């Protein structure tokens, strides 16, 4: 589409938003964009519709079809309401749990969603204030809800907000409901949205739900006697202005920990995230204040959560006395190692247990599972796929943990999404357990590498914004499919897995095998003779293409750790250069 055509198209769409269907503040905002000589904002706000996809909605807040506002979020809620009424017509009452994070407009979108559900005769069980995503997931099952909504944009910058829908098992929606709800949402026009339903169909959830949730969180403890011995473990915790501010310290206290050190500036709940550029515990910059406090207090553990408290950040002292962030793969490894080891010690490992990881996560998790006679499932990125495996095996096999590389873990199945609240408490317990054995958490991680083999993982992403960026990302995937590298860092490729075709090709024998996944996904994986795994996939929620590297190395003792790390870094850097990253 030519620029002049695109402008006319956007102006026509914007003009339709001046109708009385939209509220006065929205009309003023659209009029301002129309009258502005610089049409950049107008085009970006209207050049496409913000689509309700399998991950829900996520976008910059503001007026327009490509923005998060009460109309785009309202269409999602109206479509969900229509679908719930079709699916649960026989129930005397349909219930939906609604939660939200600390972001600007999150309460507005949550209350608006509650009003729309109520207008459709559906009971909205709305949290009285901001709450962690895992608590909303818990509430769905606890109160027998048929669905759930969380208003959050996770760790994205402050301009963003988002909307995720959940099903009756507490998990984000999967097939066939995801596609069916998407199709329903596509039919909704602003005039179809029923706003402002009766107040008596909105039930507020508060402290009573918190206590029920915390009782379940406490049940995840495997070594209460160890916590009691080391209850004064010095723990720094930061919610990075988000929803973990109350529940995470309460969870740590429920486990028995007494020395929880706060960062007052970051306990301030704010959608502007005033102390960080990005509220993402994966990024070192977001952890700077916590690190400084750790050096001041000589803390043994640093914990952080993102705005909706589903991602956990962990920082510990390494063997050089420097605080370092443990990456998401390492966090998951520590959890799985601890859970399996404690179950073996307690004699509760029966042989019907399973763990779940995502296809881009470290293969060491699979190695740990196999060696301990625990079944391993590989799924696509997203905890809804982990929850799907739990649902399919409920009552037959026992879930004992699951995670992904992006700082998410789910220690127990009373939550069916990433759960940083329980994870923070359990990670503190692991640190206490390591201390009881005369080790730091970092040394425990090194022990895992020594027992199960060393590998290092690194993720690199390339951001390409807008329509042109989306096309560039698409072309990159086409190029990798049609012209895959023959070798990386001097090691020849031996296998390619293409999840779009669900085929695995052995490049040595030429043999092809099917990949056993229910649906296709735009993911490519390259495996080399040296054991390297590289995964490539466009992000489903952000304008990025992501590259996940995992290389294997040799580690004979703790003294060799720095050398193994350096060699692995060099190998990954070499591969990134070869791939033009």
| Residue owning tokens 């507005």 | 108
Distance between CA atoms of 72 and 185, rounded to whole angstroms? 10
**DSSP line for 507-546:** TTT--EEE---SS--S-EEEEETTS-EEEEEE-SSSSEEE
Cα angle value 185/39/70 (rounded, 5°): 30
Per DSSP, 528 falls in state: E
At 283, list the tokens.
Answer: 């990024």
Q: How many CB atoms lie within 10 A of CB 130?
A: 25
Cis amide bond preceding 176, omega within 30: yes
Cα angle value 362/572/317 (rounded, 5°): 65
Per DSSP, 339 falls in state: H
Class of residue 127 by CB neighbours under 10 A (exposed 0-12, middle 13-18, buried 19+)? buried
| Residue owning tokens 């390297």 | 532
* DSSP-H helix ranges across 204-305: 207-218, 224-229, 244-255, 264-267, 288-297
H/E segment holding residue 461: strand 454-463
Strand partners, 457: 550
| Residue owning tokens 């207090």 | 297
Query: Is the CB of residue 375 less than 8 Å from the CB of residue 353?
Result: yes
At 357, list the tokens.
Answer: 């990881």
Query: Is the CB of residue 540 less than 8 Å from the CB of residue 403?
Result: no
Closest CA relative to residue 111, chosen from 31, 38, 34, 204: 204
* Catalytic residue list contains 154: yes
Q: Which of 154, 221, 361, 535 is catalytic?
A: 154
Contacts of 413 (CB under 8 A, 6+ apart): 390, 399
Distance between CA atoms of 540 and 239, rounded to whole angstroms? 25
Strand positions, DSSP E, 145-217? 147-151, 160-167, 202-205
Provide, for the chain, the percentages of residues in helix, strand and coil under a 3-state DSSP scheme, each rounded to the nearest 5.
40, 20, 35
Catalytic positions are 154
């Amino acid at each position: 589409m030519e620029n002049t055509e695109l402008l006319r198209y956007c102006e026509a769409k914007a003009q339709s938003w001046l109708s009385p269907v939209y509220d006065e503040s929205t009309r003023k905002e659209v009029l301002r964009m129309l009258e502005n000589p610089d049409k950049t904002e107008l085009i970006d706000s209207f050049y496409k519709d913000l689509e309700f996809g399998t991950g829900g909605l996520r976008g910059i807040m503001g007026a327009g079809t490509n923005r998060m506002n009460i109309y785009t979020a309202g269409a999602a809620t109206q479509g969900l309401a229509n679908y719930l009424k079709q699916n649960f017509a026989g129930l005397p009452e349909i219930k939906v749990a609604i939660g939200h994070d600390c972001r600007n407009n999150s309460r507005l979108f949550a209350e608006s969603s509650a009003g729309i559900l109520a207008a459709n005769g559906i009971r909205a069980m709305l949290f009285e204030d901001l709450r962690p995503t895992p608590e909303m997931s818990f509430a769905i099952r606890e109160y027998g809800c048929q669905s759930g909504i969380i208003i959050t944009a996770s760790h994205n910058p402050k301009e963003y907000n988002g909307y995720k829908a959940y099903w009756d098992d507490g998990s984000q929606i999967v097939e066939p409901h995801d596609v069916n709800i998407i199709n329903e949402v596509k039919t909704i026009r602003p005039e179809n949205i029923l706003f402002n339903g009766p107040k008596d169909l909105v039930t507020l959830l508060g402290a009573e739900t918190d206590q029920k949730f915390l009782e379940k969180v406490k049940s995840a403890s495997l070594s209460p006697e160890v916590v009691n011995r080391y209850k004064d473990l010095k723990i720094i915790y930061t919610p990075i202005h988000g929803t973990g501010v109350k529940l995470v310290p309460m969870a740590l206290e429920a486990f028995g920990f007494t020395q929880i050190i706060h960062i007052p500036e970051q306990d301030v709940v704010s959608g502007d995230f005033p102390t960080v550029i990005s509220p993402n515990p994966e990024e070192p910059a977001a952890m700077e204040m916590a690190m400084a406090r750790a050096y001041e207090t000589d803390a043994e553990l640093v914990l952080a959560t993102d705005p909706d408290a589903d991602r956990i950040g962990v920082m510990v002292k390494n063997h050089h006395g420097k605080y370092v962030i443990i990456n998401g793969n390492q966090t998951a490894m520590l959890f799985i190692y601890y859970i399996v080891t404690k179950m073996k010690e307690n004699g509760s490992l029966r042989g019907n247990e399973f763990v779940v990881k995502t296809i881009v996560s470290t293969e060491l998790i699979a190695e740990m599972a196999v060696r301990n006679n625990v079944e391993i499932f590989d799924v696509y990125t997203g905890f809804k796929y982990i929850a799907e495996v739990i649902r399919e095996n409920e009552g037959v096999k026992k879930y004992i943990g699951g995670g992904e590389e992006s700082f998410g873990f789910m220690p127990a199945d009373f939550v069916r999404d990433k759960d940083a609240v329980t994870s923070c408490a359990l990670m503190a317990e692991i640190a206490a357990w390591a201390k009881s054995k005369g080790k730091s958490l970092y040394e425990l991680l090194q022990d895992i590498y020594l027992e199960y083999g060393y590998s290092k993982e690194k993720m690199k992403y390339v951001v390409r914004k807008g329509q042109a960026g989306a096309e560039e990302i698409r072309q990159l995937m086409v190029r990798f499919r049609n012209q895959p590298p023959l070798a990386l860092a001097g090691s020849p490729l031996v296998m390619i897995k293409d999840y779009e075709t669900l085929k695995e090709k052995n490049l040595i024998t030429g043999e092809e095998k099917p990949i056993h996944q229910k649906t296709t996904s735009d993911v490519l994986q390259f495996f080399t003779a040296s054991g390297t795994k590289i995964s490539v996939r466009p992000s489903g929620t952000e304008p990025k293409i992501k590259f996940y590297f995992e290389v294997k190395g040799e580690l004979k003792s703790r003294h060799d750790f720095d050398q193994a790390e350096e060699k692995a870094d060099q190998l990954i850097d070499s591969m990134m250069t070869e791939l033009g990253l």
